[in-house]
Structure formats: C-alpha cells, structure tokens
Amino acid sequence: MESTLHRQLKALYAGDESAQEVEVDGYRIDVVDGGELIEIQRASLSSIRTKVEVLLRSHRVTVVKPLAARKLLIKRAGKGRAITSKRYSPVRQTIYDLFLELVHFVPVFPHPRLTLEVVLTEQEEFRLPRRKTRFRGKDYRVEDRFLTDVTGRRIFRTADDLLELLPDDLPAEFTTDDIARLKSIPRWLAQKMAYCLRKIEAIQVVGKAGNAMVYRAETDEWRIAS
C-alpha cells in the first residue's frame, strides 16, 4: 500500500494530480513534468533499475531518493488506538547512505538523460504492535510514514557530481580509511563509496598499502598524465 510519505513527495514534484500516476511505455510513472519522468523511490534502487534502463532509451528520467535525516517513531496500542510512545530513531541518514543503494544502480548511472536527486527529509513513522514469530523478528509493523520537512536536496548527473562527495582535504592518493576518517563515516560505508566511484571511473586503483587499495581521483590532470 502506498504510504502518505510517497503521496506527499509526489505532490511536491507534480504541478497537479493529473501529472501523477501516468502510464508511459507500459510503466506507471509517479510524476510526468513536461517531457521529464519522475520516479520517487523510497525502496531499493535496484528494484527499478530495469524500468529506468528501458525508459532512458527515449525519455529524460529523474529518480528521487528520499533519505530520513531524522525520524520520529510513534507507537500505537493498535490500529486506530491511542499513541503509547514517541521517540526519535538513533539512525540518522546522511547523503553518504546513498551509496548503500548506488552499488546496485551504477550499471545505469551516470547517463546523459538521467538525474538522481537525493532528498534529506524529516519523517514520522507510525508503528503497530505485531506478535514476534520465528520468521519475523520485529515486534511491530509500520502503519504509515509522513513527511514533516525537507532539510536538503542534492542533484547528481555526472561522475564528477559524485566525486564532489569526497573530502576536500583528501590526499592525492588515498584509501577508504582516509575517507572514513575525514568524513566520520564507517569504513564499510567508505568502501561502498569507493566501489561506486571506481565502477563509474571517477577514481582509479593505483596501488596497495598493506591489504588496502590505494586510489586516485580521475581528474583531468590525472587523465593527461596517464
């Protein structure tokens, strides 16, 4: 079932309701704005990769990826019943969480007709109790999600746009430890970032330091020197 969050984001990007849920080339599109197709994808980007690949053959496509920079978790006693607790989730997504999804999307990105827009949001998530079973570890299910604020947006169209997420004070030759340290992110996330940047040829492997790969950014100067 479509969440309120998804409907709110569609309304944010659509001029009117007639531009929402339009069929194009056999696919249901969230928003059509002139000649641009807009897909809002809260779930994994991998699940729309084939759809986007097909649409890019003849259309301009924008994929909007909302991330929860802050989320208020609201528990109800049951459907339609009173609220029993409220607390903020300790998980706060940042722009770097994009790379968790991008590892499955780099076969598509970058593309001259593709725009990837990351939206940092504040959300409310309503939860209902659910009996814990062997196959379902969570003791709740999500009833709905609501958008309460948009705190930032960032647009990516090229490999260089993603390259700008590397730390400004990164050494000319660096490892994922350097990225993790300078951006205060986990090393495993820095590794996903490096993987994506290498796949789109924004960085190159130039050696090893122990067991760690050493990278260099694919700047114009580096291309000429190579």
The tens digit of pLDDT for each residue in 52-61 reads 999 999 999 9
Residue type, position 10, single letter: K
188-226 pLDDT, tens digit per residue, is 999 999 999 999 999 999 999 888 999 999 764 443 333
29-59 pLDDT, tens digit per residue, is 999 988 899 999 998 999 999 999 999 999 9
Instruction: Check pLDDT > 90 for residue 16.
Output: no
DSSP assignment letter at 18: G
76-120 pLDDT, tens digit per residue, is 988 888 999 999 999 999 999 999 999 999 999 999 999 999 999
Q: What size, in residues, is the chain?
A: 226
Of 146, 166, 147, 181, which Cα lies nearest the Cα of 215? 166
In the prediction, which pLDDT does 134 show?
Answer: 65
pLDDT band at residue 4 using 50, 70 and 90 as cut-offs: very high
Instruction: Check pLDDT > 60 for residue 157.
Output: yes
Q: Is the peptide bond before 110 cis (omega within 30 degrees of 0)?
A: yes
Of 65, 60, 45, 64, which Cα lies nearest the Cα of 106? 45
Q: Are 67 and 95 in contact (CB under 8 A)?
A: yes
Expressed in percent and rounded to 5, the helix, strand and coil fractions of the chain are: 30, 40, 35
Strand partners, 28: 23
**Is residue 184 helix, strand or coil?**
coil
Of 32, 40, 36, 30, which Cα lies nearest the Cα of 15? 32
117-147 pLDDT, tens digit per residue, is 999 999 999 999 987 666 667 888 899 999 9
Q: Please tell me the distance from the alpha carbon of residue 93 to that of residue 185, in angstroms, as a whole number.
A: 11
Strand partners, 153: 119
Instruction: Check pLDDT > 90 for residue 19.
Output: no
Q: Please tell me the distance from the alpha carbon of residue 185 to that of residue 182, in angstroms, as a whole number.
A: 8
CATH 3.30.300.160 fits 165-226, yes or no: no
- Kindly report, as residue ranges, where domains of CATH 1.10.10.10 are found in the chain: 165-226
In the prediction, which pLDDT does 187 show?
Answer: 96
Q: How many C-beta neighbours within 10 Å does residue 27 have?
A: 15
Averaged pLDDT for residues 142-164: 96
